[in-house]
Amino acid sequence: DVKVTQSSRYLVKRTGEKVFLECVQDMDHENMFWYRQDPGLGLRLIYFSYDVKMKEKGDIPEGYSVSREKKERFSLILESASTNQTSMYLCASSLLIPGPYSNQPQHFGDGTRLSIL
């Protein structure tokens, strides 16, 4: 079974702090993703990565950055946390298979509920 592990289930930080959310997967997946989930808005993609040191912006990258130094680890960084970044953050990973068979599902972690005070 694929295991995606997020370092914290709950996190409370203060405005202006630099916040790191860590995600590790154990299935040698090339693709990794960070989403945030808010009531009424569903899941929105923040950043994703399809290889070590590679990253691409998703739909809402502002205020965030990411780091992928090793294949199994994908970190989300809030450079200067603000209250509007209070949310549930979900990490996911998937295999990278190009072409007509690129229907590999994403596997999700348990989520980190982040509160910025």
User: Where along the sequence are the contacts to other proteins (CB under 8 A)?
Assistant: 9, 30-31, 33, 40-43, 45, 48, 50, 56, 58, 88, 90, 92, 94, 96, 98-100, 102-111, 113
Residue with tokens 């910025």: 116
Q: Which of 58, 54, 90 is nearest to 71 (CA)?
A: 54
Our CB check for other proteins shows the closer of 75 and 106 to be 106
Residue with tokens 């072409």: 99
CB of 108 to other proteins, least distance (A): 4
CB of 58 to other proteins, least distance (A): 7
Q: Which of 25, 72, 67 is nearest to 48 (CA)?
A: 67
d(CA 3, CA 32): 13
CB of 34 to other proteins, least distance (A): 12
Q: Which of 18, 21, 20 is nearest to 6 (CA)?
A: 21
Residue with tokens 């298979």: 97
Our CB check for other proteins shows the closer of 11 and 43 to be 43
Our CB check for other proteins shows the closer of 12 and 79 to be 12
CB of 80 to other proteins, least distance (A): 26
